[in-house]
Chains A and B, each alone.
Chain A
Amino acid sequence: MGRITLDKVTKAFGEVEVIPPLDLTIDDGEFVVFVGPSGCGKSTLLRLIAGLEDVSSGEIRIDKQPATHLPPAKRGLAMVFQSYALYPHMSVRKNIAFPMKMAGIPEAEQNRKIEDAARVLNLTDYLDRRPGQLSGGQRQRVAIGRAIVREPAAFLFDEPLSNLDAALRVGMRLEISELHERLKTTMIYVTHDQVEAMTMADKIVVLQKGVIEQVGSPLELYNAPRNIFVAGFIGSPKMNLIEGAEAAKHDAHTIGIRPEHLAASKDAGEWKGTVTVSEHLGSDTYLHVTETGLADTMTVRVGGEFGVKHGDTVFLTPDATKIHRFDAQGLRIG
């Protein structure tokens, strides 16, 4: 089973502390996503769990067993790398067999597991090809296959979809989610893409500069961001942040309102502004509005088509129940 606990884990590269003391518990069977801007330490954190980096201090426990100083292979974890890290000189079959070969599993059992994995991942016809002859999505599946056959306590994914094109990415996202439904194994998934985080995760861990900003379900993060960073990071387009007099009206240093919680009108509304750019997506219209006296640019998301152009005047009205309030330290109020 795959319950993973990090207890005051730190990591420093020389003088630079990339992870200050950090506590985190990942429950068995959870799909946890580490998300944050690049350089936030999310990959380092994953590599610490994997054992590819040594912790500077603190404890890592996997299934309540101390694992802090176990070599990677002994932790019972499998990892899918960003570049897939397939062995280019081995066939797909040998790639998938490699961890079992290292573990000394009898050949008959190896073959059975390879066949199983290949069926699950639609790789049966490709077992004798080299990774170089496969498409990006197929390589991704081979990497996952190599992880599955080990029957790990947890899967670690390090930005696994970032090398795929947009259409394929959506497909693979679904496949990984389905895989999690079927296997019910703990999965830790690192990404910088908040859409992936929102769509896949049971639990999202938002990181910035090695510090956990918030841990929670996707909707918790969306509805009740703990601070301005999380508020800005989760949700697309980004939340509008307003300081000054308008915020003071709500007894806050800063207030935030998501673009989809602003209503736009050509005639009347609470705030008045000028449209600089309007982006027509068909299903939605994004308006970029300036000269509101609130923030440099306000982004508004209007459902369907909304016929305004550069220079037009619009009126905006926030949904009063969806206003987020933050104090001077950027922390959520209420």
Chain B
Amino acid sequence: MHPAIQAVLTVGVAVIAAIAYFYLSNLLLDRVLFPARGKNAGRNINRANMIRPWLFLFPALFALCLYLAYPVVETIRLSFTDRVPGGYEWAGTSNYQQMLREPKFWEALRNNFFWLLVVPGLSTLFGLIIAQLTDRLSWGNIAKSIIFMPMAISFVGASVIFKLIYDYRPAGEEQIGILNAVYLALGGAEPQTWLTIPGLNNFLLMVVLIWIQTGFAMVILSAALRGIPEETIEAAIVDGANPFQIFFKIKVPQIMPTIMVVWTTITILVLKIFDIVFAMTNGQWGTQVLANYMYDKLFRANDWGVGSASAMVIMLLVLPILVWNVRQARKEMR
């Protein structure tokens, strides 16, 4: 049997199994465990109604536990062990010590912070500026849709596109990479291998993500701007505010919660950043980030201990933002 057909069949079986689970478990609850008759009918109905939500939640919770609880614990364990022929060996904190001694780790950590500082801020800022420019413009919507387009492209796809843009040809040949073509046209002395210039190359990688996320930020923020009551702006005009004051003192404060949503959403994305670096530089020339560092350790160096240790570092970095975000969401839910 063709493996693809096999996959489709497996999905079909899983779908049927899931439906059967919901149907049969509900039936079991109502007919067998707590039937709504006899002298305990009332108590039974109440109990069945209390259990039912959990019955329905169970597969989802189970799947998430399977995906999370065990692997996280296992990663923690692996980060404290070394692989030896035929098994594992307790290694204490030696993996962490080794990791902390590696300059590549520090480079990755530094770059992650660098990304964190630049990408969410710039994406949100650009998004806000474009949203403000196109606010209530009749011809703005198509422009907005175009600006949003990169959002639908996968990070890998975007990386490939930008690799073409950053491409380098030796001096004298036609510069097929747009960046070099423009650079030379503007009077640059000779074509640059952009992705190998330390410092700048990091920024060029970030451009890819900013390119993707600006549209996302813009769509959200322009919706928020449209949601601002017209009266507050008219009141400000009547009170004699100039356009800048209206923007910064009237509009921005009103959409601040949305700005925070955008910023944190992109921040969490940035903390997980992997695909772009993987596809464009693979962490060479000073562009390493933690996720790719971990990938290197796991699959190239086959060092599971250090790989797991670096995974733990990423988890710890995400934790504060995660907690903050969950708190915000919880507050909003009333």
Contact = CB atoms under 8 A, between A and B. Distances in A.
Contacts of A54: 42, 45-46, 49
Contacts of B280: none
Majority SS at the chain B contact face: helix
A132 interface: no
A71 B42 contact: no
Interface in A240-280: none
Contacts of B46: 54
A69 B46 CA distance: 10
A258 B87 CA distance: 92
A69 B41 CA distance: 6
| Size class of the B contact interface (CB-based, 8 Å) | under 10
B36 interface: yes
Contacts, number: 12
Interface in B200-258: none
Interface in B1-53: 36, 41-42, 45-46, 49
Contacts of B45: 54, 69, 71
Interface string A54-96: 1100000000000011010000000000000000000000000
A71 B36 CA distance: 9
A177 B89 CA distance: 84
A220 to B, nearest CB: 36
B42 A68 contact: yes
Contacts of B42: 54-55, 68-69
Contacts of A69: 36, 41-42, 45
Nearest to B44: A69
B41 to A, nearest CB: 4
A9 to B, nearest CB: 12
B47 to A, nearest CB: 11
Contacts of B49: 54
A171 to B, nearest CB: 35
A55 B45 CA distance: 11
B38 to A, nearest CB: 10
A246 to B, nearest CB: 48
A69 B36 CA distance: 8
A54 B42 CA distance: 8
Most buried by B among A54, A69, A71: A69
A55 B43 CA distance: 11
A71 B41 CA distance: 11
B271 to A, nearest CB: 39
Interface of B: 36, 41-42, 45-46, 49
- For the complex of A and B, 7 pairs with smallest distance between CB atoms: A69-B41, A69-B42, A54-B46, A69-B45, A68-B42, A54-B45, A69-B36
Interface of A: 54-55, 68-69, 71
Given A54-B46, A71-B45, 10 more contacts: A54-B42, A54-B45, A54-B49, A55-B42, A68-B42, A69-B36, A69-B41, A69-B42, A69-B45, A71-B36
7 contacts: A54-B42, A54-B45, A54-B49, A68-B42, A69-B41, A69-B42, A69-B45
